[in-house]
Amino acid sequence: MKITGTFIDEISHDIPHQNWGREEWAKDFAHMKAMGIDTVILIRSGYRRFITYPSVYLQNKFGCYEPPIDLVELYLQLADEHDMKFYFGLYDSGHYWDTGNLQHEIDANRYVIDEVWTKYGHYKSFGGWYLSMEISRRTKGATDAFNTLGLQCKGVSNGLPTFISPWIDGKKAVMAAEATLTKENAVSLKEHEDEWSEIFSGLKGSIDAVAFQDGHVDYHELQDFFEVNKKMADQFGLQCWTNAESFDRDMPIKFLPIKFEKLRLKLEAARKAGYDKAITFEFSHFMSPQSAYIQAHHLYNRYQEYAKNL
């Protein structure tokens, strides 16, 4: 199964910023295209006070900093040039992480969605929306948040697709700031299916695809979880994508490019489960030939060798 999409993370709040400008981004989009990527996804348009585009609303409402460059416009221009689809990722105020209350994200993004579509909706590559609220299990207000924001995104953009990328609450689902790599109270396969079936059953045409993050369960557990994910997606009329993490959750240094063997295991599990698309978090740091991590250069080469045989 080939990787045909990637997140772009330029807020970089838990991975180092690479300090790229227009020239470096232009080269990276060319590398993405050479790898077969046709979809780029802004993982979030802002996090707390740092933002990727000069939002009048976010600067006035939350005191966000004026960004030195309009990255959203740059990405759309490059996506236009390379005939890619660009998905806009919503704003993350940080309040949900502090309080567990998703209402803050709903309130902020109702303005952001309108502002962004008015400002950038004319680009031919503007192809969809990413609802950036990351959850793992039954979360208070999750269904309402997905419905409210997803329907608004589709409403302003004449029905452009939306997707979410939650995580499986497996044994490797620990916070990046924690020193540990695993936890004891991992979700069971049945709990995962029951809880996500409940969430999906409450969606009202607001979400088109789900891309579960694949790094939180062990490699021998992947097939069972992937098959359950595909069954649920089919049952509730969703496309089933995989978010194939190209960084390694098994090492005490967070986060470095993944060992190719592990990435291959995850992609093969998604292929066997009949997934519709593979995206990754994320190309520029962990797979790009110009990444700050030299291991990423080699991962790109190993992946290209693998993809030639598919």
Question: What is the per-residue pLDDT across 113-156, written as a single tens digit (0 to 9) for each?
Answer: 999 999 999 999 999 999 999 887 877 789 999 999 999 999 99
Composition of the chain by helix, strand, coil, percent to 5: 40, 15, 40
Q: Is 46 helix (H, G, I), strand (E, B) or coil?
A: strand
The per-residue b/e assignment along 65-82, b for 16 or more CB within 10 angstroms, e otherwise, is: eebeebbbebbbbbbeeb
Tell me which architecture the domain covering 3-308 has in CATH.
Answer: Alpha-Beta Barrel (3.20)
Q: Which residue, chain included where needed, has tokens 């802002």?
A: 46
Per-residue model confidence (pLDDT) at position 235: 98
Collect the ranges in the chain with pLDDT lower than 70: none
Query: What does the angle CA 57 – CA 59 – CA 60 come to, to the nearest 5 degrees?
Result: 65
User: Phi first, then psi: what are they for 249, rounded to 5°?
Assistant: -90, 0
Reduced 3-state DSSP string for 135-190: CCCCCCCHHHHHHHHHHHHHHHCCCCCEEECCECCCCCCCCCCCCCCCCCCCCCHH
Per-residue model confidence (pLDDT) at position 62: 94
- pLDDT (tens digit, 9 = 90+) per residue, 163-184? 999 999 989 978 777 888 898 8
Per-residue model confidence (pLDDT) at position 175: 79
Per-residue model confidence (pLDDT) at position 307: 97
Distance CA 182, CA 217 (A): 10
Per-residue model confidence (pLDDT) at position 173: 76
